[in-house]
Structure 1
């Protein structure tokens, strides 16, 4: 066969570099895409939720996910590489806009464009992409598909960043350091995408001019397409791994150090849950790449085993076994391993009709992502194992359908010939992947340690002289109650920084919070409680109202805790509600010992009319309280001061602090967007005899859709 040196024009074609540029470009684009995806659902749910019904919200999201279905049509007018590059430019632009945006409408537009671009990129990748060839070897061992490698690395890096930041997504960080990082990574991604595009297009004219047989196939590689079943597992794997990481971080060993401290069991490794959460994708990436290097036939069986493990763990969770702590990392590892193997190359055909099955498969995988993410919001705890189960089945079917085709080998020059897969996964690739894995684990450890919730101070001995302060006056403390709106501000924009600043300004000793979202899809998988506790150095007690453990009420306190318990109300209109009961130790005076202060935190039902159960819930609350004094009751009662259920509280000895000692006309709820609900008073601080209210006020702040009530009280 002739070489490129036989012709002066061909001689101008230089030997291309290892196609790590394409892998890095795809990885950074997918990383930006994952962050944009997590901004997309909150924007749709919260900003459009007041004007669109649930079916229309779902259709809106599906329309954006369907953008990838345009790829087969657009391929008739332009090349796959051009589509990939243009979508990459749009995605990076949208990601940068999100970093600087403080507006819900801008979030919605930018995240929609970003997710649409992500779908185009993924669909293009699974259908194959022209790249520069690293070598012309024919050994299929050690070759890995571009989409599998970039997807695995992106998922690993993304998990490490999220856990390293305390489950507070980088897309919502507004500090200068985060912004600089995002801009630098965006510029790097744009540079790599541009280089990848120009390098191929610089070679093409010389090859066309050279007209040397075999020159194109020796310098231009095709990132081979993948199985449609592997493509279908992408969205499902993302849903399972992202949600599993949030669960692992929120309900793992570091989730509630306060309870462990009360029970006397010290937590030796507070960052363990964060580390375990990222080890799943890390182990899965390593196993998947190792399986790929074993060749086609061993890889097929390795894919079946990893998919089988995912199915086994998912089945165990569906069967009701309490395996969350152990199952989630194993599930994450097996799914990442399975998807890398399921995305192995398959024979290429030049027919554009062949792109439709894979394009539809990617779309259907994200339909599953959307359906299961929304199902989890309605307390369907089976969402994660169902995603793992279906993804595992897809991986096994993809492996079985590989057949005996020697993928990765050149086989002639006809229109249906197999092209050499881009780049051997050799020593350089292994070093890069190992380095990224080690950095990811290190980032996770450092971040998880930094964001580990602080431990409560030890309970005081009432008989000890060290429990008193020198003044003869009663101890004064600042209490605060705030509905967190799941981490969104009054403009339906995720803004955990605003919540932190608000609480830091008021500097409470006791902070009662409701609507605590610890990492669900509707707030971008952000653990609001962990961020507040770490940033404010406030230990917390947390009680969940949801089966997944990610939604409930919490109490953050500087005072020692001697006892606490979480109670669920029997009365309900559909959504489970509860009350957190804690006994805190307040320093005594120079003339007496410390005092036990009972603190109750609740969020009552929101339904009015014939289905109003708030009165019944307050009856249950009062029965648990049983008249102990001094006591403070804080929370969102979802009703106005003139309601009969609140009048009954007064008969039991509770005093509305704001109405009695502050401004009785003050409001605490900004009202719903669009005016569907007026500004009103829904939040309360009630006190019993033994507590003197020095001052109390509602604070005008739009860090949430509720205003906080802050009271300075003396405890006798």
Structure 2
């Protein structure tokens, strides 16, 4: 398998793209463990949850695999989106990935609440303190582990206090419940509305179009807004038309409504090829350096981040 390169859209002078290995196709080890645990239970029976603008710091060349940076402060204008693969990965490794990038605000999708709490705790031990808000779409016990009490959905971590927060399910989730959440916090010294979402799966374009309509209606009054998320759709898909027409622009300057405009950086494993599903949508904000896509072996989605002005 050929190595895959980190794609930096609008590379900032002095930053060089780095090399990370392509992610392996894999089955979730956790599913195997849970299956074994269920078998044991079946045979034995039960026993008697906040200053001024700066430029985004460059990511180390070995960002996806090297040591955690000794610089502990978050980069105050950096926002990041990452789909965590629904609890099927090494949470400690995911925390180290976040610590290397040091974003001010992080939007997680496919996030198990217990995993987010553990990531938050490990980041604090590494010198990075974050406030957290959850956007639960499922609260039953079978979403994120055999023992229950582990809600599933989106989460936002912010290095500055979260002033307001909210969560809303879409009227039509598709084959799974889906929703969006929002917080008001500080990015680059400015009050900013940050939304985080995960749209319906492949083959459900009608549902995604309705979800985009509901999301853009909810953000209509926000002059300075960021939407992070896994949209399960490439930029040219018709269901994303509502995003472009609502004055949102992707942080990747090479991405527009037309396919290959000229070429969007892919962000997710998909068939028959990798695709761009993960976005940092901006309105009333610019990302002078574009966005950066950093591969990781600890999810089927890449980490995507941008420095905002």
Same fold (TM over 0.5): yes
What is the alpha-carbon distance in structure 2 between the residues aligned to residue 663 and residue 708 of structure 1? 21
Q: Deviations over 1:337-365 (max 9, x none)?
A: xx3xxxxxxxxxxxxxxxxxxxxxxxxxx
What is the alpha-carbon distance in structure 2 between the residues aligned to residue 500 and residue 476 of structure 1? 18
Distance 1:654 1:113, change over 3 A: closer
Match of 1:536 in 2: 123
What is the alpha-carbon distance in structure 1 between the residues aligned to residue 132 and residue 35 of structure 2? 38
Q: Deviations over 1:407-457 (max 9, x none)?
A: xxxxxxxxxxxxxxxxxxxxxxxxxxxxxxxxxxxxxxxxxxxxxx8xxx4
Instruction: State the 1:666 CA deviation.
Output: 1.4
Distance 1:659 1:571, change over 3 A: farther
What is the alpha-carbon distance in structure 1 between the residues aligned to residue 93 and residue 103 of structure 2? 16
Match of 1:684 in 2: 279
Q: How does 1:515-554 map to 2 (within 5 A)?
A: 515-518=110-113, 527-537=114-124, 538-548=130-140, 550-554=151-155
The two structures have a TM-score, normalised by structure 2, of: 0.70
What is the alpha-carbon distance in structure 2 between the residues aligned to residue 693 and residue 555 of structure 1? 23
When the two chains are superposed, the root-mean-square deviation of aligned CA atoms in Å is: 3.4
Instruction: State the 1:233 CA deviation.
Output: 9.1
Contact 1:542 1:553 in 2 (8 A): yes
Structure 2 residue 191 is the aligned partner of structure 1 residue 599: no
What is the alpha-carbon distance in structure 2 between the residues aligned to residue 555 and residue 704 of structure 1? 18
Structure 2 residue 308 is the aligned partner of structure 1 residue 703: no
Match of 1:568 in 2: 169
Instruction: State the 1:692 CA deviation.
Output: 3.6
Structure 2 residue 250 is the aligned partner of structure 1 residue 641: no
Instruction: State the 1:112 CA deviation.
Output: 10
Q: How does 1:301-700 map to 2 (within 5 A)?
A: 336=47, 339=48, 457=50, 469=52, 477-488=77-88, 494-518=89-113, 527-537=114-124, 538-548=130-140, 550-586=151-187, 588=189, 595-608=190-203, 612-660=206-254, 664-671=263-270, 677-700=272-295
What is the alpha-carbon distance in structure 2 between the residues aligned to residue 686 and residue 544 of structure 1? 22
Distance 1:113 1:627, change over 3 A: closer
What is the alpha-carbon distance in structure 2 between the residues aligned to residue 542 and residue 115 of structure 1? 28
Distance 1:533 1:605, change over 3 A: same
What is the alpha-carbon distance in structure 1 between the residues aligned to residue 170 and residue 246 of structure 2? 19
Q: How does 1:38-77 map to 2 (within 5 A)?
A: 47=27
What is the alpha-carbon distance in structure 2 between the residues aligned to residue 670 and residue 472 of structure 1? 33
- Residue 479 of structure 1 aligns to a residue in which SS? strand
Q: Deviations over 1:563-607 (max 9, x none)?
A: 11111111232321111111113465xxxxxx3201010000114
Aligned residues: 247
Contact 2:247 2:283 in 1 (8 A): yes
In structure 2, runs of 5+ residues without a counterpart are: 1-25, 56-74, 125-129, 141-149, 256-260
Which protein has the larger Cα radius of gyration, Structure 1 or Structure 2? Answer: 1
Contact 2:173 2:179 in 1 (8 A): no
Match of 1:322 in 2: none
Instruction: State the 1:670 CA deviation.
Output: 2.2
What is the alpha-carbon distance in structure 1 between the residues aligned to residue 288 and residue 308 of structure 2? 4
Instruction: State the 1:697 CA deviation.
Output: 1.2
In structure 1, runs of 5+ residues without a counterpart are: 1-45, 49-103, 123-231, 238-335, 340-452, 458-467, 489-493, 519-526, 589-594
Contact 2:76 2:104 in 1 (8 A): no
Higher strand residue share = 2
What is the alpha-carbon distance in structure 2 between the residues aligned to residue 692 and residue 515 of structure 1? 26
- Residue 183 of structure 2 aligns to a residue in which SS? strand
What is the alpha-carbon distance in structure 2 between the residues aligned to residue 633 and residue 654 of structure 1? 9
The two structures have a TM-score, normalised by structure 1, of: 0.32
What is the alpha-carbon distance in structure 2 between the residues aligned to residue 517 and residue 476 of structure 1? 26
What is the alpha-carbon distance in structure 1 between the residues aligned to residue 291 and residue 194 of structure 2? 17
Distance 1:598 1:569, change over 3 A: same
Match of 2:307 in 1: 712
Contact 1:486 1:528 in 2 (8 A): no
Contact 1:573 1:607 in 2 (8 A): no
Contact 1:543 1:553 in 2 (8 A): yes
What is the alpha-carbon distance in structure 2 between the residues aligned to residue 710 and residue 606 of structure 1? 23
Higher helix residue share = 1
Instruction: State the 1:647 CA deviation.
Output: 2.7
Distance 1:583 1:571, change over 3 A: same
Q: How does 1:140-151 map to 2 (within 5 A)?
A: none
Distance 1:509 1:501, change over 3 A: same
What is the alpha-carbon distance in structure 1 between the residues aligned to residue 288 and residue 300 of structure 2? 26
